[in-house]
Amino acid sequence: MKRSSAKSAGIPKPPPPRVIALLNQKGGVGKTTSTANLGAAYAIAGLRTLVVDLDPQSNLSLHFGHEPAPDQPTVRDLFMRTEVPAADLLRQARPNLWFVPSDTELALVEGELALQPNMQHILAQRLERIMDRFDVILLDCPPSLGVLTVNALTVADEVVVPTQAQYLALRGLEKLLETVLLVQQALNPRLRVAGVLLCMHESQSSHGKAVVEEMDQYFEKFRGSGLPWQDASVLRPAVRRNIKLAEAPSFGQTIFDYAPTCAGAADYRALAEAIRARWPSRTDASQAHESVAVVGASVESR
């Protein structure tokens, strides 16, 4: 049987998108603010960006001016109604920026999913069909380490941990890293931790400075360890506390719509670039794909 795929036509497949899970089991740390504004920064920079709201609180959509409507599809359909094509669940928020809204009923999905075989892979399977439409996919995780979060980690390339520079944050980080390790070992060998993203940061506070130093030292200990966080660090710049970041969603806006010259916009713009600078280059990724295609071609010609 002749295949009419891009591979057999000699056209290299586009490199897969970079998938980032924004994860912290604690609420109110800046996950949703970071997902919305990093997503907006990537879209403005010309990357085709998808953001998926996995938190039943449904706050992400507010940043894009989207009010939930009862009859509109949500991320719950992504998990529970697999007969609906994933492409039908995407909404465009801005040029280059699409999202899948959440659902306050999403909490029920945790229970329903637990009964399904292969429950950790549903998000990965559903996104696979639409992957090639995007350059970057951001997953706004719920404040728990339950099955929705495990689904996010199963499809992610990297984890970014929004947090505050507080002593207790380090304790929570250790628990989170344990979960990352379990998923990396059992389900997703690709998974890496990029690092912690300091949100609402007050650089003048001496407690804050001490905790950042401790976090830096903590990550240093793991260099060369082979663990998924061996290259992780405290990501720079920190996002400073900036009231405009809290105000923007009440106007249905990202920080780049609402106050594009404020400190919050500058921080998220710079941070988006800093995270992107750590990705393997697109050329490397394409070459990896080409060599897969060559192997594929020689197998096909047998």
Ligand X SMILES: Nc1ncnc2c1ncn2[C@@H]1O[C@H](COP(=O)(O)OP(=O)(O)O)[C@@H](O)[C@H]1O
Please select the residue that binds Mg ion; options are 31, 63, 76, 192, rule is CB under 5 A. 31
Side-chain-side CA neighbours of 209 within 13 Å: the count stands at 4
- Residue whose beta carbon is closest to Mg ion: 32
| CA–CA gap between residue 5 and residue 20 (Å, rounded) | 28
Q: Which of ligand X, Mg ion, none lies near 292, with the C-beta cut-off 5 to 8 A by kind?
A: none
Asked whether position 32 contacts Mg ion by CB under 5 A, the answer is yes
Binding-site ranges for ligand X (CB under 6 A): 27-33, 59, 162, 199-200, 239, 241-243, 245-246, 264
User: C-beta of 59: minimal distance to ligand X in Å?
Assistant: 5
Q: Which of Mg ion, ligand X, none lies near 200, with the C-beta cut-off 5 to 8 A by kind?
A: ligand X
Which of 160/293 has CB closer to Mg ion?
A: 160
> DSSP string spanning the chain?
----STTTTTPPPPPPPEEEEE--SSSSSSHHHHHHHHHHHHHHTT--EEEEE--TT--GGGGGTPPP-TTS--HHHHHH-TTS-GGGG-EEEETTEEEE---TTHHHHHHHHTTSTTGGGHHHHHHHTTGGG-SEEEEE--SS-SHHHHHHHHH-SEEEEEE-S-HHHHHHHHHHHHHHHHHHHHT-TT-EEEEEEE-SB-TT-HHHHHHHHHHHHHHHTTTTS-STTTT-EE-SS--B--HHHHHGGGGT--HHHH-TTSHHHHHHHHHHHHHHHTSPPHHHHHHHHHHHHHHHHHHHT-
Which of 33/254 has CB closer to ligand X?
A: 33
User: C-beta of 169: minimal distance to ligand X in Å?
Assistant: 12
User: C-beta of 199: minimal distance to ligand X in Å?
Assistant: 5
Q: Tell me, residue by residue from 41 to 80, as one string, x for binding to Mg ion by CB under 5 A and - for no binding.
A: --------------x-------------------------
Q: Which of ligand X, Mg ion, none lies near 176, with the C-beta cut-off 5 to 8 A by kind?
A: none
Which of 34/49 has CB closer to ligand X?
A: 34
Which of 146/162 has CB closer to ligand X?
A: 162
Q: With contacts defined by CB under 5 A, how many residues of the chain interact with Mg ion?
A: 3
- Angle, helices 147-155 vs 106-113, to 10°: value is 80
Which of 23/180 has CB closer to ligand X?
A: 23
Q: Which of ligand X, Mg ion, none lies near 56, with the C-beta cut-off 5 to 8 A by kind?
A: none
Residues 231-290, interacting with Mg ion (CB under 5 A):
none
Which of 198/293 has CB closer to Mg ion?
A: 198
Q: Which of ligand X, Mg ion, none lies near 276, with the C-beta cut-off 5 to 8 A by kind?
A: none
Which of 7/268 has CB closer to ligand X?
A: 268
